[in-house]
């Protein structure tokens, strides 16, 4: 039995444009999909974790990896008997990478009596549209992959917590590394949406601190980057550091444009894409060499959460999907770990899945998941819900000595596994 919060009990119904019948069908399928062999025959009604992911649209690559992390965590939860003997079911819908569509779907999910907790969508832009739904309806939400500080800073959030660290740190480390390697000029290109805008602000601040000159600072519309033209402009300006981007498709396109244009900046760095294990497969070994990415988690880290250690998570992910997980999958897995702990705490304290008790656990706990440390600014402070413990790493694709590439941490210094390579 779930006990809703006062805020949720007085929520209004979904907007008329929400595809309520689709949501109902997804929830019904999730409720019916019990793997009975993994659970005792007297198992109670399932616990429903609901949300959206980007199965289509501009963020589908990362959305797929996040959802795989969700699904693996739920599978492992149920193998161990669920939560207090209750099976856990994941109800996901495709938001098409569209913030408006996601907001409508979450409105319906929050209004559904069968949904126990919400799990966030992929990207800051989509999450920014969804968080107000959770706040308005009093529904606990873990935002697995939203790093823009603007979603939480000064907003006094009470129902939504952030797993990722500040987006302004994403590319700032690459600026520091480039300055150390002798770079003097920077070409910044970025998608005109919430997360890349935040990352770009971090680049400007870091460039100013390091004494680098920003010779190019250009935004492009979502899905409409002319990668070849932007790369040619950076080349003509002889920028030593070329960086920015939006999501994986842009990182791939810019990396390939640099190779095709015979542009040889000292270093390149892209906000999303190079942090994933399959990046060299997407662009080729030669093009990927020395490209910098960033991530809060890499497979060499020794992390451990309520469900699995890093090594176990990697092994199970490889078995399930035939590939090495990146940080987006680790974040998805970790988000389910957090929610399962919060739900268990509520069941222990109240005998129900009480929205306020789940929320209080998420806001007050300092713990670790497969992704790494988790702890947010507590309720009552202006930045409540924003992540305060997770550290952002700068990664680089370097020669492995056998004709291939390996991902190594190059910054911050305390975590560095290797010196940077440069062109």
In a domain, 123, yes or no: yes
pLDDT of residue 236: 97
How many domains would you assign to the chain?
2
Same-domain check for residues 215 and 89: no
49 and 94 both lie in a single domain: yes
Does residue 202 sit in the same domain as residue 128? no
Q: What is the pLDDT of residue 299?
A: 86
| Beta pairing, strands 141-143 & 117-119 | parallel
Q: Do 94 and 193 have their domain in common?
A: no
Residues 67 and 204 in one domain: no
What would the two tokens of residue 93 be? Answer: 């819908």
Query: What string of DSSP letters covers 358-423?
Result: HHHHHHH--EEETTEEE-BPPTTSTTTT-B-S---EEEEEEE-SSSSEEEEEEESGGG--SPPP--
Our measurement of the distance from residue 110's CA atom to the centroid of its chain's CA atoms, rounded to an integer in Å, reads 21
Please work out, in degrees rounded to the nearest 5, the angle formed at the alpha carbon of residue 191 by the alpha carbons of 187 and 193: 135
What the block records as the tokens of 248 is 């994986």
Domain membership of residue 380 (yes or no) is no
Residues 255, 400: one domain?
yes
For residues 145 and 176, membership in a common domain is answered with no
Per-residue confidence (pLDDT) for residue 44, from 0 to 100: 74
Strand partners, 2: 353
For residues 140 and 128, what is the distance between their CA atoms, to the nearest angstrom?
A: 15
Is 320 a member of any domain? yes
CA distance 90 to 82: 12
Domain assignment present for 421: no
Asked whether residue 260 falls in the same domain as residue 402, the answer is yes
**Cα dist from 195 to 133, 201, 245, 246, whole Å:** 19, 10, 10, 8
Residues 402, 289 share a domain:
yes
Q: What is the pLDDT of residues 86-103, one digit of tens each?
A: 999 999 999 999 999 999
Range of the domain at 264: 168-295+392-415
Residue 194 lies in a domain: yes
- How much is the pLDDT for 26? 60
Q: How many CA atoms lie within 13 A of 355 on its CB side?
A: 24
Q: What is the pTM of this model?
A: 0.86
- Kindly state the average pLDDT of the residues 95-118: 97
Check residue 5 and give its pLDDT: 63
Radius of gyration of the chain (CA): 21
* 399: in domain: yes
CA distances from 215 to 184, 228, 237, 399 (A): 10, 18, 7, 30
Alpha helices (runs of H) in 10-113, residue ranges in sequence order: 20-32, 60-79, 99-111
- Domain holding 252: CATH number? 3.40.50.2300
Q: How far apart are alpha carbons 170 and 205 in whole angstroms? A: 12
Q: What pLDDT does 399 receive?
A: 97
Q: Is residue 138 domain-resident?
A: yes
- Is 180 found in the same domain as 147? no
User: Tokens 């793997």 map to which residue?
Assistant: 35
362 and 225 in a single domain? The answer is: no
233 neighbors 257 (Cβ within 8 angstroms): no
pLDDT exceeds 90 at position 23:
no
CA distance 339 to 161: 11
383 assigned to some structural domain? no
* 58 and 159 both lie in a single domain: yes
DSSP designation for 145:
B
């Amino acid at each position: 039995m779930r006990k809703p919060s006062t805020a949720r009990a007085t929520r209004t119904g979904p907007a008329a444009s929400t595809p309520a019948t689709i949501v109902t069908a997804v929830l019904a399928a999730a409720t019916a999909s019990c793997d009975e062999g993994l659970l005792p025959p007297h198992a109670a009604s399932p616990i429903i974790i609901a949300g959206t992911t980007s199965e289509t649209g501009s963020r589908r690559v990362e959305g797929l990896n996040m959802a795989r992390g969700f699904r693996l965590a739920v599978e492992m939860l149920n193998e161990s008997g669920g939560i207090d003997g209750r099976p856990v079911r994941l109800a996901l819908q495709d938001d098409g990478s569209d913030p408006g569509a996601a907001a409508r779907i979450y409105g319906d999910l929050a209004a559904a009596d069968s949904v126990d907790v919400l799990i966030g969508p992929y990207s800051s832009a989509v999450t920014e549209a969804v968080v107000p739904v959770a706040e308005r309806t009093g529904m606990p939400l873990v935002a697995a992959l939203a790093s823009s500080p603007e979603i939480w800073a000064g907003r006094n959030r009470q129902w939504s917590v952030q797993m990722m660290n500040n987006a302004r740190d994403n590319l700032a480390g690459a600026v520091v590394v480039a300055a150390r390697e002798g770079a003097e000029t920077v070409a910044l290109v970025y998608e005109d949406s919430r997360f890349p805008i935040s990352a770009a602000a971090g680049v400007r601040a870091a460039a100013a601190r390091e004494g680098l000159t920003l010779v190019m600072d250009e935004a492009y519309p979502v899905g409409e980057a002319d990668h070849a033209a932007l790369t040619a402009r950076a080349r003509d300006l002889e920028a030593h550091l070329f960086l920015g981007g939006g999501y994986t498709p842009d990182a791939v396109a810019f990396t390939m444009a640099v190779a095709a244009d015979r542009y040889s900046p000292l270093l390149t760095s892209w906000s999303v894409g190079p942090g994933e294990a399959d990046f060299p497969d997407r662009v080729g070994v030669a093009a990927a060499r020395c490209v910098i990415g960033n991530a809060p988690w890499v497979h060499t880290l020794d992390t451990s959460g309520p469900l699995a250690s890093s090594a176990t998570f990697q092994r199970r992910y490889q078995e399930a999907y035939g590939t090495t997980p990146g940080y987006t999958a680790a974040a998805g897995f970790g988000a389910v770990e957090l929610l399962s702990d919060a739900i268990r705490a509520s069941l222990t304290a109240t005998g129900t899945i009480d929205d306020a008790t789940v929320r209080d656990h998420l806001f007050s706990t300092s713990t670790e998941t497969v992704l790494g440390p988790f702890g947010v600014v507590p309720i009552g402070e202006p930045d409540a819900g924003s992540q305060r413990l997770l550290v952002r790493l700068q990664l680089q694709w370097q020669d492995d000595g056998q004709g291939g590439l390996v991902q190594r941490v190059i910054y911050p210094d305390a975590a560095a596994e290797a010196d940077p390579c440069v062109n």
